[in-house]
Structure formats: C-alpha cells, structure tokens
Amino acid sequence: MQNKIIKVHADDNVAVALTNITAGEQLTLDNAAYVATKDTKAKHKIALQHLNVGDEIIMYGVLVGKASEIIEKGEVLTTENVKHQSAKVTGKTETLGWNAPNIDKWKDRTFMGYHREDGQVGTANVWLFFPLVFCENRNIEVLKDVFENELLHKNINKHRLLLRSLVSDSGQEVPEEVEDTRVFKNIDVKFITHQGGCGGIRQDSELLAKLLAGYVNNPNVAGATVLSLGCQNLQIQIFKDALAEINPDNKKPIVIYEQQQSGTVDDMLKGIIKDSYEGIKAANNIERKPAPISKLKVGLECGGSDGFSGISANPTLGRVSDILAAIGGTAILSEFPELCGVEQELVNRCVNEDDGKKFLQLMKAYEKSVVDAGSGFDMNPSPGNIKDGLITDAMKSAGAAKKGGSSPVVDVLDYGEYIHKPGLNLLCTPGNDVESTTAMAGSGANVILFTTGLGTPTGNPVTPIIKVASNSELAEKMPDIIDIDTGAVIRGEKSIEEMGDTMLEHIIKVASGEVQTKAMALNQSDFIPWKRGVSL
C-alpha cells in the first residue's frame, strides 16, 4: 500500500501529504507512527514533530520557515502557523562534488535540427518580425495579418469555421483539424510586439536591445525583420551593437526599416513585404540535419506550481538537466525570487568563486529593489501556490530549485546576457512565468521545459515550450496544454530516473520536429520583457 505521506529529505521535520487525509487518521512513515490532528489536503505539509514558536521548519533539507504558533506533531502547516524564513548566505563554504549520471544510452543520440553558421543548432526555423519601439506595434500587426493570411493561412481555423457555420445557419459540421495549406512548409513566421523602446529610463531600452538581439541570435531564428520609428531611445545602432556584442560575426539576414526615413506607411509596408518575403523564401530552403543532443540548450521553468511540483515534475527536469550537463549540453535555471533559501547550495555548486559572488550580488540587489518598493520575496507565492501547499517563498523555492538537478554551475548571467558555456547556467529573471521564458529564449534556449501543478497556458514566439504536469489530475483535466504527465512519480509507479528518460525522449522528438508541443498547436507566442522594476 502506498504511503499517504512522504519525507523529501532525511533532515526534514515535515512531510508532504500524497492524498487527502482526515483528522484522526493513523499515518506511518519510516517505521514511525503519526496521527493527523486536522483534515489535510493532498500537497500540504504535516509536522513530524512538536514545534514551538520560533522553531525552524526544514524541508528539502533547508530552512523554509519558522513556526509562528505552536504546531503539534501531526498538524498541518498553514500561513497562520508558519512564516517565511531562509538561511543567510555570505559566500562559498565548500565545493560540492557531483556524481554524474550514466550517459551511455545518450552519448550517441542525435536530433534533427537546423544548423546555423555560428555552430548553434535550432529546433525550429523561424523568421521573426519585431519593433524596436512600441510606436511600430500597429505596423507589426498589419504585417502579421498580411503574412498569416496569405503565407501561413493561419486564420483559417476551426473556431472561425464554427462561427461561419453559425452565421450562415448552415449546420455544417466543423472539422477537428484544418488542412495545412501554408505556402512554405519549412519555415514559420512569428511576430513580437511590446511596450518598450522609448519613455522610461535609457537602461530599459538598452536591456530591451540586448533581449531582442538575443532573439535574433537564438538558433531557432533564421532571420528577422526589424521596424524602427527613428526618434526613439532604442536606436537601430544600439540594437546592432547589442547583436555584435553577442555575435560579432552574425551572418543571419536582417531586414531593417525606419519609418521616419521611409515616406508613407504604404510605401514602407510594400518594401518590408517584398524584402521579407525574399528572406523567408530563402530560409525555407534550410533543412533539418542530424545534430548531437549536446547542441540542446534547455530552459527550466515552473509556473502555477503546487505542492507536488517539487517532488515529481521539478526533480524530473533536474534529471534531464544533469544528463545534458554530463553530455555537454546546456541547461538554464532562472527565476531568482524562487531561488531564495537555496542560495548556499547554488553558491557551493559554482565552479568559479566569482560566479558565486555574482549570484549573491544579483540576488541581494534584486531583493533590495523589491523591499525598497514596499514588498519582499516572501510575497512571491501566489494564492494558487498557497492553496495547493506552497505556503512560504523558501518552501516554493526549495522545490523550484530541483529543476536544476545537482550538476556544477558553470556560469551566472544577468538578464539579457547570452549563454556561451555548456552545463548548468543561472540566469537572473523574475519568477513571473512569461518574463522568465521570454528571457531564457533571449539567452539562447532552443527548448523550454515548463512544469506546472495548476495549469499554465503560455508559449514563446521562437522556442518550443513543453508543459509538464506535476500530477495526473491536471493532465487529465487540461490535456490541451499538457505535454508530459509526471503523476506516476507521485503514485510510486515510476522513478525520477525513469521519468527523466521518458522526458528526454520527448524532447528529442520535439527538437526534431516530429512532435508539436501543445503550446505550438494553440499558437501561444507570449513575449513580455522585464523592465527591471519590481516583478516577482
């Protein structure tokens, strides 16, 4: 019979409820007996010992809170009896060893990718349209309508056909799938709009330039069309300089138009359409070819997390991250507010001591900006997180950090910096789902793994996002957004190692174009730059 509670780490003094538990129910864990003092919902935490006010709450082997009231043995932890608390970190205290996973079954594996001249390999082939300033959003929308209608035929979808049948009162049956009638089958065209590029502070525009340059340099992008007004803060040259800093020898085709130098809108749009069409047509000739899976750069994200995320979905990502690190691939762990409480372990895992210092400096500066605005990292858990068992930021963070596995940290990057080193990289971003995935794609991620316990519908314009459910109930309820279900780990039917291998096989299929992610099928292409203000 499966246990009803589980202890994640040997040092923990709390356990996770794997199923709903009623008050008075007898529980057993590690040959010790417990009695639930109150009704406890699945995913929530139960005290394994009597806790006085001020006593530390340990989970995942780290400090995640302190008791603000007396908590009896067997009692459920809540926001009323526990307050956020995390350990203070000043620097590296030891160098952690690493037992790399066996990669014999993976070392010769390949995926079918798009090879770029700089040595990167894409999992997709995208021509990207974007503005340097929000003043050009309208023109981007016009171009989107033109290209999606005439080139991609995206507006002929089942929902439009449904409305058409209702208007005509024809009673015509609407097909579940619409035939692919795209003009070019080997290239996709995506469009980005944003509210930046002018106004605000100059640093915002400079960061946006680095982010957009990263998108152009992303291996999934074949070329780009860039629109400028002319007078904005984010000048064309600033964008070009940002791209040159990432890749001084960029050879990707880039079509740039500046409206204040182009005459009428009509004349400008005609030129953009003609020039972009030629670039898209040429990019369509690029074909997929075999590449070692060490060319994968995988972003690690969680959103809409629940009390199971840290024991099923996130550790599975950690397994994949460790395999990639061992084989020479790349993993990216971001969301700095959700690393609060696990800083010591991450600092100790840094290969270079300077990276550990940089990580702590970024964390402290970020937290200070949040506190100065009258908030704090302790405000990070959302109502949905709390309802499903993540009652403190440190508790949420300790589970979120499991996405990064246990491999050494090879580099620490600030927002907008591009990934250049294989292995596990830390990237400073908010915990906000889309701001984080937006940043990881801008830093070079060619696949993003996104765990969720509650369900989060989001995608990215250039990088496939694979959604991973922490529990089977979610996967069954929202099958249109979930790609992989790790609920078998909770039920004890699969180990983290087995689930990680299953996930990596799925990643290879997505990277090869054999499987379309649910976010891609729903045409979800979310893009939100971080303005470096307060965002959790």
Span 314-330, pLDDT tens digits: 999 999 999 999 999 99
Options 3.40.50, 3.90.320, 2.70.98, 3.30.70; which CATH number does 126-285 get? 3.40.50
Check pLDDT > 50 for residue 531.
Answer: yes
* Comparison of pLDDT for 347 and 96, the residue scoring more: 347
3-state SS, residue 337: helix
Q: What is the pTM of this model?
A: 0.92
Percent of the chain beyond pLDDT 70? 94
Q: 461-477: b or e for each residue (b if 16 or more CB lie within 10 Å)?
A: bbbbbbbbbbbbbbbee
Kindly report the CATH class assigned to 5-83: mainly beta
Common-topology check for domains 5-83 and 126-285? no
Domains in the chain: boundaries: 5-83, 126-285, 294-521
pLDDT at 500: 98
Bridge partners of residue 257, in order along the sequence: 227
Check pLDDT > 80 for residue 173.
Answer: no
pLDDT at 374: 84
pLDDT at 169: 73
DSSP strand E in 105-159: where? 110-115, 121-122, 126-131
* H helix or E strand, kind and range, residue 215: helix 202-217
pLDDT at 536: 45
Q: What does the mean pLDDT of the chain come to?
A: 93
Instruction: Give me the phi and psi of 96, to 5 degrees please.
Output: -80, 135
Check pLDDT > 60 for residue 535.
Answer: no
pLDDT at 188: 95
pLDDT at 8: 93
* Comparison of pLDDT for 175 and 465, the residue scoring more: 465
Q: Which of 28-42, 151-165, 286-300 has the lowest mean pLDDT?
A: 151-165
Mean pLDDT, rounded, for 163-181 = 68
From the list 202, 185, 433, the residue with the least C-alpha distance to 300 is 433
